[in-house]
A and B are shown apart, each in its own frame.
Chain A
Amino acid sequence: MDFTFLCSGKPEPNGRKVAIIGAGPSGLSATGYLACAGYKVEVYDKLPKPGGLMVFGIPGHRISPENIARGAEKLEKEFGVEFKLRTKICGSEPMHEETGDDMAYTYKSLGGRVEDNDAVLICTGTWKSRRMEVPGHELPGVYSGLEFLFPVRAASYEIANMDVPEIKGKKVVVIGAGFTAVDVVHAALTEGASRVSLVYRRSREEAPCGSMEFNMLEKQGAVCMEHSAPLEIVGTDRVEGVRFAPCVMSEPDEAGKCRLTVQKEESFVMEADIVVTAVGEMGTPPFAHDLGLDNVRKGDVKWLQMTSLDSVFVAGDVLMGPSKIGKAVYSGLKAAKSLDEWLTLKDQGRLDEFQDEVIRREDLR
C-alpha cells in the first residue's frame, strides 16, 4: 500500500508538525496525505508494527503483511515519518482494557502530544470485542473474535508473553457470521483444529458475510450450522460445550416483520474445547467524554472531524464504529484534509470567516 499516492516525492517541509495516534488504515492514509503536504508527521501505535488490524487481525492470506510494511517503510525512509511503536497514548480518564495493550512498552499522555504538535489526529480504531451475554461466557476457553485472532497473528512477532490459544486437535465452535467469524474459522482450520463448527442463528442467505463464504468454508472442512441460537456455554472449570436451540423464523406480521423464535425445549449441547464468539467489536476511544465524540458523530462541531479540543481531530473506526478498510481510509484522508485546511486558515487568521459553515452528517460518510 503506497500511502503517498497523492505526490511523487517528498515536498518542501511546510514547518508544521502533527501527531497521529494509531497506525491502522485511517492513520496511515492520513499520514500519507499530510506527508505529501509537507508536514512533519509522527505516528504512535501500541503494537510493534504499523498496519493495525490489517496486520494483526485480518489473516495474512487476505492481506499480505509485506504489502503494508512496504507502505510504512516508504513513509519512514522517503518522507521522514517517525513511527513511535509500542507506545500507547493515554489521558486522565480511566483506561479501557483492550486487545493488544500488553504489547505496549511506553505510555505517553495526549496532553503532551497536543502541546508538542500543531495538531493531533486520533485513529485508534475498535479494539474491544463485544461479549455475548449468555451464562458461562466468562469460562476459560471462551474467546471473542479479536481475542482469538490477535494472538494467532501476533505470535509471529512476539512469542514470549503471548497467551496463544492451543488449537491443534481441539474442537472449535464459532458463533456469528460476519467476516471476523469467517477469519476465525479459517485460522482454526489452518492451526489444525480437529473440528470447526460455525453456528449462526439465521440462514446463510441472511449472513453478513454472504452465503458464498459459508459454501467455501464447508469446502475447506468446516461444519456450518444455521438457525441455531446459543443459550449457554456449559462447563465446570473450563468450557466443555455450548447449548444451542433451534431458531424458527415466523411468517411476516402485519408490519411485515419476521420474528425469530427460539425453541428452548428442543435445545442440544455441542461439544467444544474452544468457543469463539465473533459478534462484533466496539470502539474504545481514549477520553471519549473529554473530546465530545458523540457530538463529532452528529456533526455538531466547529470543524469537520475536529473534537471539542481545538486542534485534535478524529477519524476511522473509532469515530464511526467497526467497518471496512475502505471506509477507514476515506475517513482518514478527509480528516487529514480538514486538519490541513483548519491549520492553514488558522495561520492566516481567517477561521472566523468559516465559523457559520454547517457540517452535515453526510459529510462524515
Chain B
Amino acid sequence: MKKTYGLIAAFDSTPALYHACEQVRDAGFKQWDALTPFPVHGLDAAMGIKRSKVPRISICGGIAGFTTGMTFIWWANSFEYPLVVGGKPYFSPMFAFPVSYELTILFTAFATIIGMFVVNGLPMHYHPVQKAPQFVRALDDRFFIVIEANDPKFNATETRALLARIGGQDIAELEE
C-alpha cells in the first residue's frame, strides 16, 4: 500500500489563500506549505515563516571574497615576487581595494545562490506534490495548500474538514 504524503487543497484567489494560510497557521500545523505561482506579498507572516537564513550565508561569502582579494594581492605583489612599480609600496589596501571589492561581490553572489539552494533543499527533481494532476496549475494561476501527513496534528478526516472549512477546493490525498 502506498503511503500518504498529505492533503492538497486548491484556492482560486490570492486573498482566499492568504486567509486560509492564517487559519492553518493558527490551527498549529508545522509541516505544511503553500504553493503559489509567484511570491505573494506578506504570505510569510500569514504562514508564520521566520526570516530567511540566506543572508547569513551571503555575508560569509562576502567576507571570504574580500579577504581572498586582499591576501592574494599582498601575496602576489609583496611576498611571492615583490614588485617595484614607480617606487610605490609593495602592498597597500588602497590599490588592492578594487579587486577585493569585485571579489566580495562575486563570492557573495555565489554564496547567496548556493545558500538559497541548500536552504531550500534544491535541486529536488522529484517531489510528491508534483505527481498530483492539479499541480500543473501551481506555477500558472492557482494556489494550493499542502498539509503533510507527518505533522503531529495531522488527522486524515479532521485535516480534510479544516481544509474544506477554510475554503479549499478539490481536496485530494497525495501519495508519497
Bound together:
no
